[in-house]
Chain A
C-alpha cells in the first residue's frame, strides 16, 4: 500500500532561517506529488505540485520542492522563512491514474518573529 512519511511533527524556526521539510513516499510506479499548506483557521491550499519534467518545482510564496526519484523523496524548501509561513504543511502523493491522494501526517511550522 502507498504511504507518505513526514519526518518532523513540529518545526520551530526564527524568521530568516532556512527551511527544509522532509517527505518520503512508498510507491513504485509513476507518481504525482503535492505539498499543501493549511494556515491557522484556513482551508488546505496547494503550495506546489510535481507531475513530470524538471524535478525542481517552484511554488507560491518562495517555496520549492525537489523530486528525487531514487530516494522516493519530495522535500520542501524555502531559503528564508517569514512569520506568515506559520502553518501546517502536508505532503501528498497520487500514484497511478486512478490512485487516491495519500497524505502524510503533516508538519507544523512555527516561525518566531
Chain B
C-alpha cells in the first residue's frame, strides 16, 4: 500500500465504548497529525507528532488519547465520547513538522457516537 491509510473507515460506537482509530503512513515521513473534520467547520488540528514525540495538543478533551509507537503508525484511542464528537477523523503525515512541505491525508474514519 502507498500513502496514508486509516482503519476502520466507519465506526459507530456508544458513549460508554472504548475504541481505537489506526493510521499508517508508507511515505517515510517524520511527522503525523490527527484532524477532526465537522460539517461547515474548518479542519481542526487535534494532535501533532514529530519523530514519535507529541509536540502539540490543541486543547483536545482527555477522552481522546493519541499514541505514536513509531514514525509510521499513529493511533487515536477513544473512550466515553459524546454525540458531538461524531465527525470525520483524518490522519495526515509530512516529511517534517517544520519546513514548507505539504501534508498527505488519509481517507478518514467516519465516526458516529450514539
Contacts and interface: CB of A to CB of B under 8 A. Distances in A.
Interface of A: 4, 9, 32, 34, 36, 42-46, 49, 51, 90, 94, 97-98, 100-106
B48 interface: yes
The interface residues of chain B, by DSSP majority, are classed as loop
Contacts of A45: 105
Contacts of B97: 98
A98 B99 CA distance: 7
Interface of B: 4, 40-43, 45, 48, 56, 90, 92, 97-100, 102-108
B45 to A, nearest CB: 5
Contact of B105 (A44, A97, A102): A44
B97 to A, nearest CB: 7
Given A44-B90, A94-B100, A101 B45 contact: yes
Contacts, number: 40
Contact of B42 (A32, A46, A97, A105): A105
Given A32-B100, A43-B108, A97-B99, A105 B48 contact: no
16 contacts: A4-B42, A42-B107, A43-B106, A43-B108, A44-B92, A45-B105, A46-B102, A94-B100, A98-B97, A98-B98, A100-B45, A101-B103, A103-B42, A103-B43, A104-B42, A105-B42
Contact of B43 (A43, A51, A90): A90
Nearest to A5: B42
A105 B42 CA distance: 4
A49 B102 contact: yes
Given A97-B98, A100-B56, A105 B103 contact: no
